[in-house]
Amino acid sequence: MLRYLMVLTIASMVGLQSWMILFNNFAVEVVGIDGQQMGALQSVREIPGFLALLAVYVMLVIREHRLSALAIVFLGAGTAFTGLFPSFTGLLCSTLIMSFGFHYYETTNQSLTLQYFDKQTSPLVFGRLRSLGAASNIMAGLLIFLLGAVLGYRTMYLLIGGMVMVAGFWAFFQDPTHKNIVPQHRKMIFRRRYFLFYFLTFMAGARRQIFIAFSVFLLVKIFEFTLYEVTVLFVVNNVINYFLSPYIGKAIVRFGERRVLSVEYAGLILVFLTYAFSGSRAVVVVMYILDHILFNFAIAIRTYFQKVGDPQDIAPSMAVGFTINHIAAVIIPVLGGLAWMVDYRIPFVAGALFSLVSLIAVQRIPRSFSSNP
């Protein structure tokens, strides 16, 4: 299962990061979209995440690991189609296809990891997969850096999307499962004792979408970063995360979810306020890298659930969690786009407030199991 998830994680990250590296410059330089349209695109991108709870019903007719592989095929297809339709409508359609693949893979990836690895091992596996994802991002960045000199956006999207689809088709015919795991519920699960997990997941979605929708857009639109500068930033950022991600998993095991998440939220307050009020390109770049580091801390929300949840609730709860995560994610990019048109600082100030609320909420995680003696 670990090898299976590693292959699909590489494919997922290469596809997603290639799409993201190219997307802002492609959207601005070729399609010519504005802030409001960018917000609309990012909201559409999160609709499949909002519908992640339907994965529970899809798994009634297809096994969970095969759904993971099929999701990667969709991710590759959406990436490949992006450059073929250089219009706002075309971007809406290709983004939707790509996003269905990415979000359904992430849902099943989290579920399979929590099912197949115990409470002490899962943070380490999540950290290892994040590190592998960072290495894949570096590969995608270097690939685009080299291909960008000789190929156009359309060809790069087709080439990279095709490679991702090949990996998905390969995985679809593999079977990494075994029978020594707890059978999962095939229905929606909502329990009152999971409320903190639901709330932290919801706030993470609201906060994260501000970063995804507007951080790179800030670099391109306000600080006038070129495609090559954005690509170099992605590579440097992921080199750092490649080395740090395994230590984040170890930190969760040693210090517990409460402390790790507290560090994340306190750091994000600083990041968002700096985005809003700094006029320095160098400072904003540092905050961008710090934001990506802190994003990896969010795996502690899932390992927290593993400690409080019933084993048979993992698959449906990860699907429900993804949907909760994207309730705000569907709305906030549009509202943020409108706010951007008034003052680009407003979305980032809102992100700082969301982080403050999360910092307060995470103090409710019990100390009794949040760390090892």
DSSP state of 120: T
Q: Indicate the pTM of the whole model.
A: 0.76
State residue 43's pLDDT score.
72
- Burial label, 111 (beta-carbon count in 10 A; 0-12, 13-18, 19+): buried
- Whether the CB-CB separation of 40 and 96 falls below 8 Å is answered with no
For the chain, give every domain's residue range.
Answer: 2-174+187-370
State residue 182's pLDDT score.
64
Residue by residue, pLDDT tens for the chain (373 residues) are 889 999 999 999 999 988 887 887 788 788 777 767 777 787 788 788 777 777 777 877 888 888 999 999 999 999 999 888 888 888 889 999 999 999 889 888 888 888 888 778 888 888 888 888 888 888 887 888 788 778 888 889 999 999 999 999 999 998 887 777 766 656 667 788 888 988 998 888 888 878 877 888 888 888 888 877 877 887 788 788 888 888 888 888 888 889 999 999 999 999 999 998 988 888 988 998 898 888 888 888 888 888 888 878 877 787 787 788 777 766 777 788 888 888 888 989 998 999 999 999 999 988 765 444 3
Domain spanning 2-174+187-370 has what CATH number?
Answer: 1.20.1250.20
- Whether the CB-CB separation of 315 and 64 falls below 8 Å is answered with yes
Q: How far is the C-alpha of 28 from the C-alpha of 24, rounded, in Å?
A: 6
State residue 370's pLDDT score.
47
State residue 373's pLDDT score.
37
Q: How far apart are the first and last CA of the chain?
A: 30
Residue 277 CB contacts under 8 Å (≥ 6 apart), including other chains: 345
- Burial label, 196 (beta-carbon count in 10 A; 0-12, 13-18, 19+): middle
State residue 17's pLDDT score.
83
* Type of residue at 216: V
- The alpha carbon of residue 319 and the mean position of all alpha carbons in its chain are separated, in whole angstroms, by 14
State residue 69's pLDDT score.
92
- Whether the CB-CB separation of 326 and 52 falls below 8 Å is answered with yes
Query: Where on the phi/psi map is residue 286: left (φ > 0), alpha (ψ -120 to 50), or beta?
Result: alpha
State residue 270's pLDDT score.
93
Gyration radius (Cα) of the chain, Å = 19
State residue 329's pLDDT score.
67
Q: How far is the C-alpha of 67 from the C-alpha of 65, rounded, in Å?
A: 5
